[in-house]
Structure 1
Amino acid sequence: MTDVRQGTGALGERVAARWLLRHGWTIVAHRFRSGHRDLDLVARRGADVAFVEVKARRGLGFGDPVEAVGWRKRRELVRSAWVWIDRCGRPGEAYRFDVIGVLLTRSGARIRHVEHAFDVPARC
């Protein structure tokens, strides 16, 4: 991955984290690693825990950032989330997957937060 792409991704994660904080969430993990996989952000608000995938773009040439989370990425997020739940989960928590798309422009950032972007499947 290039330094520019890494920089864009890191900036997008910071913007998304600040957005979540302003909306009452607490960031409990940033880049939680599980083998070669990771969760960009894990946020908690009350008994709700959101596993947040952040996609950042500097333009729409490759489509809306939110649309970049396909079935393979969802599968990896679910696997990492189960590891996080095993290590850090608490009884009574409700889990969900959110996607935050960050479009970075010269005038600022445009954020699209898709809550409950896909379902938490049962363990196999």
Structure 2
Amino acid sequence: MDAPRTLVSQNKPMGDRGERMAAEHLERAGWTVLARNFRVGHREVDLVARRGEVVAFVEVKTRAGLGYGHPLEAITAKKRREIQFVAQMWVDRHGREGDSYRYDAIAVLLPTGGEPRIEHVEDAWRM
């Protein structure tokens, strides 16, 4: 008998779709996506994007609806610290003189039978 699928594995395709949509949204807005799912150990940043001298470390949260709250409410203090840690590793490896860095968040809502909605919050939090 097959093992039951976990909530995480059931939501992964939706999360992957949301990350693709978020990357496309950023590119339409003039950003260049430098990395997707940049990892340091088990921690990761969903997207690293550049526009001019600004590099944004972007957390993407995707939901089918608002039944569990707004997607961005899922970015906890612990998650922000993890993203900041990974972002520092990215800067240490790839940062350039003169760049400025920030943390953005993108909510992707994929309602059944409705149009997808994307909300980009620039400079969503500070270190």
One-letter amino acid of the counterpart of residue 109, structure 1: P
Aligned partner of 1:11 among 9, 17, 20: 17
Distance in 1 between residues matched to 2:18 and 2:109, nearest whole Å: 8
Q: Which has the larger radius of gyration?
A: 2
Displacement over 6 Å in runs of 4+? none
One-letter amino acid of the counterpart of residue 114, structure 1: V
Residue 116 of structure 1 pairs with residue 120 of structure 2? no
Uncovered stretches (5+) of structure 2, i.e. residues with no partner: 1-5
Residues 4-58 of structure 1, C-alpha deviations (whole Å, 9 max, x = no match):
2101110000010000000000000000011110110000000000000000000
Aligned partner of 1:60 among 47, 59, 66: 66
For the aligned residues, what is the CA RMSD? 0.9
One-letter amino acid of the counterpart of residue 76, structure 1: E
TM-superposed deviation, 1:66:
1.1
TM-superposed deviation, 1:67:
1.4
**Superposition map of 1:35-50 within 5 A:** 35-50=41-56
